[in-house]
Amino acid sequence: MLTPAVRNIIIACTCVFFLQTTIKLIFPPEYTAEFQHLFGLVPWYVTRRLYVWQFVTYLFLHATIWHLVMNMLFLYFFGMDLERTWGKRRFYEYYFLTGIGAGFINVLIKVILDPHGTSFSFAIPTIGASGAIYGVLIAAGILFPDRQVWLFPFPISIPMKLLVAGSIVIEFFLSLDAGGDSVSHVTHLGGALVGYLYLRRGLFLYRFRNNYLDWKRRRTRRKFEVYMRDHKNEPPRDSDDRWVN
């Protein structure tokens, strides 16, 4: 059975794709382009017109039926176990955090590479849930590293951590391709990076909290030792008003 959050995301993305297809079939092509520039992630609109909603809405748009199917299959296979482990609310938070974070990194990289916004790519909309999907993928690799994954259609299986590591390495080298393609590899890597930092933050805070508590215990022990040395383990006297009964 589909878990609630995964089911709702799949339904939402499918409905939006149906709307995109309807617009493409009924209206002239410029309507489709206008729809994608309004709700896809376009750096020019984000930085010049402050269309900040695009950081969320671009996650629900997809270019083709195969683009939608592949993203939703990855969400189905790897997202449900995360939701069962975390619960619906935390899964929603993680999914949209990685998706929005991936979009932010996408815009940031393009602004750094083209601060004046003169490049053609500055006005190209980025669409698809792939940034959030890569966040889900790296979370599955961290939480279930030794789970065996079947590499369809090949009759072999590998640990989840190897699948995730291989996917990240492939995306990294594809992002270095000067020729480029229609896939936003930067967004994929951004989602994975945001997911990794989110999951590792607990370890960093855990160490900080333990170090702080250890320091407090050492400080309390030193103060106690100083007090005992000053009083030489003598019982309190009646005239000693520092003792309270």
Q: Which 3-state string (H, E, C) describes 82-101? A: HHHHHCHHHHHHHHHHHHHH
Is the pLDDT higher at 149 or at 182? 149
Confidence (pTM): 0.79
Whether the per-residue pLDDT at 210 is higher than 70: the answer is no
Instruction: Name the CATH superfamily, with its identifier, for domain 4-203.
Output: Rhomboid-like (1.20.1540.10)
Residue 15 is encoded by which pair of tokens?
């409905």
Count CA within 13 A, CB hemisphere, residue 61: 21
- pLDDT value of position 236: 53
Residue 184 is encoded by which pair of tokens?
């936003």
Residue carrying structure tokens 């594809």? 174
Contact between residue 41 and residue 127 where contact means Cβ atoms under 8 Å apart: yes
Amino acid at 25: L
CA 31 to chain centre: 31
- pLDDT value of position 178: 46
pLDDT confidence band for 206 (50 / 70 / 90): low
46 Cβ contact partners less than 8 Å away, ≥ 6 residues apart: 52, 54, 55, 107
Whether the per-residue pLDDT at 185 is higher than 60: the answer is yes
Domain ranges of the chain: 4-203
